[in-house]
């Protein structure tokens, strides 16, 4: 089966805008919301959601910090349960916004939700950097096949896939284009977890 594009630039933009609106609605505003992207593409998605939040919720960018101070990155590499399998993941830098996360609503942002193992690692990693009031999960794509009891609070698109398929997310900032592609895994364990 040849690769097929299932989301384009406009689809991704709409999904991220919808997620931003859902975050505002679920929290009755965004004054205590911090976005933490899971590297690599989750960080870019968190930055984009942050820009939308600044547009639709003016207080988010004005008080008490700027929008850039409410978006960070949470490396989960050392908390993964597959470190011993030689998958060769390079650690990324964790960047916590200046105001910290204590007492805040932290929205973890990731690109694709698959088995739930990356999210489990993120929950472990968050304990090392503070104590949020609540933790929520926003993902661009939920492809199913959960191995752990984890569910996203905000989903851009549900894309049911076969276990051997792979989902690739390309973003203009890193790949030159915005698109989500499904490819056949040809018997390999299917991509993005």
In a domain, 185, yes or no: no
pLDDT at 58 over 90: no
User: How confident is the model over 102-115, as pLDDT tens digits?
Assistant: 999 999 999 999 99
Report the percentage of the chain scoring pLDDT > 70.
Answer: 85
Terminal Cα distance for the chain, rounded? 21
CATH number for the domain including 137?
A: 3.40.50.2020
In a domain, 18, yes or no: yes
Beta strand 71-73 with 33-37 is parallel
H or E segment to which residue 181 belongs: strand 179-184
pLDDT at 66 over 70: no
Q: Could you tell me the pLDDT band of residue 32, with boundaries at 50, 70 and 90?
A: very high
What average pLDDT does range 14-40 have in this prediction? 96
Report the percentage of the chain scoring pLDDT > 90.
Answer: 75
Count the domains in the chain: 1
Mean pLDDT for the chain overall: 88
Place of tokens 């390309």: 170
What average pLDDT does range 23-38 have in this prediction? 95
In a domain, 182, yes or no: no
Enter the pTM of the model: 0.89
CA distance 133 to 115: 25
pLDDT at 38 over 60: yes
In a domain, 4, yes or no: no
Supply φ then ψ for residue 59, to 5 degrees.
-65, -20
What average pLDDT does range 142-151 have in this prediction? 94
Q: Provide the pLDDT for residue 86.
A: 53
User: How confident is the model over 156-187, as pLDDT tens digits?
Assistant: 999 999 989 999 999 999 999 999 999 987 54
In a domain, 38, yes or no: yes
Would you list the DSSP string of 4-69? EEEE-HHHHHHHHHHHHHHHHHHTTSSTTEEEEEPTTHHHHHHHHHHHHHHHH-HHHHHSSS-GGG
Q: Could you tell me the pLDDT band of residue 63, with boundaries at 50, 70 and 90?
A: very low
What average pLDDT does range 52-77 have in this prediction? 78
Question: What range does the domain containing 107 cover?
Answer: 11-161
CA distance 179 to 170: 5
pLDDT at 26 over 90: yes
What average pLDDT does range 92-102 have in this prediction? 91
In a domain, 101, yes or no: yes
In a domain, 6, yes or no: no
Question: How far are the Cα atoms of 23, 79, 136, 141, 167 from residue 19, in angstroms, in the given order?
Answer: 6, 27, 12, 11, 20
In a domain, 2, yes or no: no
Edge-to-edge strand list for the sheet holding 154-158: 71-73, 33-37, 105-113, 134-142, 154-158
């Amino acid at each position: 089966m040849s690769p097929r594009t299932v989301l384009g630039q406009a689809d991704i933009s709409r999904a991220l805008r919808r997620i931003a609106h859902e975050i505002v609605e679920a929290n009755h505003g965004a004054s205590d919301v911090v976005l933490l992207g899971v590297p690599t593409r989750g960080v870019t998605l968190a930055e984009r959601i942050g820009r939308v939040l600044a547009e639709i919720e003016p207080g988010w960018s004005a008080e008490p910090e700027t929008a850039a101070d409410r978006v960070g990155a949470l490396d989960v590499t050392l908390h993964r349960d597959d470190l011993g399998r030689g998958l060769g993941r390079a650690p990324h830098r964790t960047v916590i916004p200046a105001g910290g996360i204590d007492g805040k609503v932290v929205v973890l942002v990731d690109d694709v939700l698959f088995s739930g193992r990356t999210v489990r690692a993120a929950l472990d990693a968050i304990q090392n950097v503070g104590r949020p009031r609540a933790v929520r999960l926003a993902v661009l794509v939920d492809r199913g096949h959960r191995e752990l009891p984890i569910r996203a609070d905000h989903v851009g698109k549900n894309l049911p896939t076969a276990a051997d398929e792979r989902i690739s997310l390309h973003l203009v900032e890193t790949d030159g284009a915005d698109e989500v592609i499904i490819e056949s895994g040809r018997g390999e364990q299917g991509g993005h977890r």
